[in-house]
């Protein structure tokens, strides 16, 4: 779908990647309903985008928590009013650290935000999307959802769940007018990464991309309607090899184990 034909719900719009996606899609002509739970950055982004547009109806902002029933109902109501035909599930939170240090509250928030919220929002949006002549659902995953990397067990598990959900949904809706897509970025240079994650990526030589580069890929994917893409050639190859025989790659993560062990984490923290 051309961005000029897209009326988009974008969750997690106030974050580093979300704001970059919003900027890119806006520049390419999309109409946007920006969703987030932090008023300041979200409303500032909407004002900045509308400030340069002759048609101020192109961007709206909705301050809600996508993990709540009330928040999702508000999104669906606003999406119906704006005749939305694209849902981008981008909202997510991260967790990084040794598996034994996992905090129960962090585990619950990861599950609610990264898995439960996008599934329930998608379920609620489907009747609306089915009513459109063409529609798309684009879930933002991660290469960590296809490669088990030490330190990212919980976050990777949440993205693996989103990947399988997307795959099953794509097959379920194959005979409909709704296209279902999954994009898996690698590390992104935003505040989403804690200092520990940055040190870990540096020690392991993990490649990263700017949020603007990832946003360009998301916009191209929206237009191409391709089913699934991974950022980075090596990451894409590794994900496919890991899908065939995970044991083949076990030895490649020795430096990741060493890097994780060498890091210092706040007492009782898991992210």
Q: Which residues are catalytic?
A: 155
Look-up of token digits 């894409």? 236
What phi and psi values does residue 162 have, to the nearest 5 degrees? -65, -35
Q: How many CA atoms lie within 13 A of 215 on its CB side?
A: 22
Dmax (CA) for the chain in angstroms is 56
Helices (H), 66-210: 69-81, 104-110, 117-130, 153-172, 195-204
The number of beta carbons lying within 10 Å of the beta carbon of residue 197 is 21
The answer to whether 141 and 184 have CB atoms below 8 angstroms apart is yes
Q: How many CA atoms lie within 13 A of 265 on its CB side?
A: 22
The answer to whether 211 and 17 have CB atoms below 8 angstroms apart is yes
What phi and psi values does residue 145 have, to the nearest 5 degrees? -85, -5
Look-up of token digits 């669906």? 76
- Alpha carbon dihedral 13, 83, 226, 53, in 10-degree steps, equals -50
The secondary structure of residue 229, as a DSSP letter, is E
């Amino acid at each position: 779908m051309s961005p000029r034909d897209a009326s988009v719900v974008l969750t997690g719009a106030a974050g580093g990647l979300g704001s970059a996606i919003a900027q890119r899609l806006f520049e390419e002509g999309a109409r946007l309903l920006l969703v987030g739970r932090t008023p300041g950055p979200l409303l500032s982004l909407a004002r900045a985008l509308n400030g340069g547009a002759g048609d101020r109806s192109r961007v709206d902002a909705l301050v809600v928590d996508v993990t709540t029933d009330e928040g999702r109902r508000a999104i669906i109501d606003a999406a119906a009013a704006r005749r939305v035909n694209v849902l981008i599930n981008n909202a997510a939170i991260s967790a990084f650290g040794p598996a034994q240090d996992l905090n129960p509250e962090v585990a619950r928030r990861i599950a609610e935000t990264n898995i439960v919220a996008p599934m329930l929002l998608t379920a609620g949006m489907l009747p609306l999307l089915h009513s459109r002549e063409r529609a798309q659902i684009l879930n933002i995953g991660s290469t960590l959802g296809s490669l088990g990397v030490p330190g990212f067990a919980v976050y990777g598990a949440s993205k693996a769940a989103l990947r399988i959900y997307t795959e099953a949904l794509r097959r379920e809706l194959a005979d409909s007018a709704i296209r279902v897509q999954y994009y898996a970025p690698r590390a992104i240079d935003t505040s989403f990464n804690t200092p520990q994650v940055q040190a870990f990526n540096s020690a392991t030589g993990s490649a990263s991309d700017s949020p603007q580069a990832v946003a360009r890929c998301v916009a191209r994917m929206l237009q191409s309607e391709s089913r699934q893409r991974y950022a980075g050639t090596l990451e894409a190859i590794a994900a496919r090899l890991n899908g065939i025989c995970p044991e083949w790659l076990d030895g490649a993560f020795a430096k990741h184990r060493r890097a994780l062990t060498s890091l210092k984490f706040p007492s009782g923290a898991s992210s």
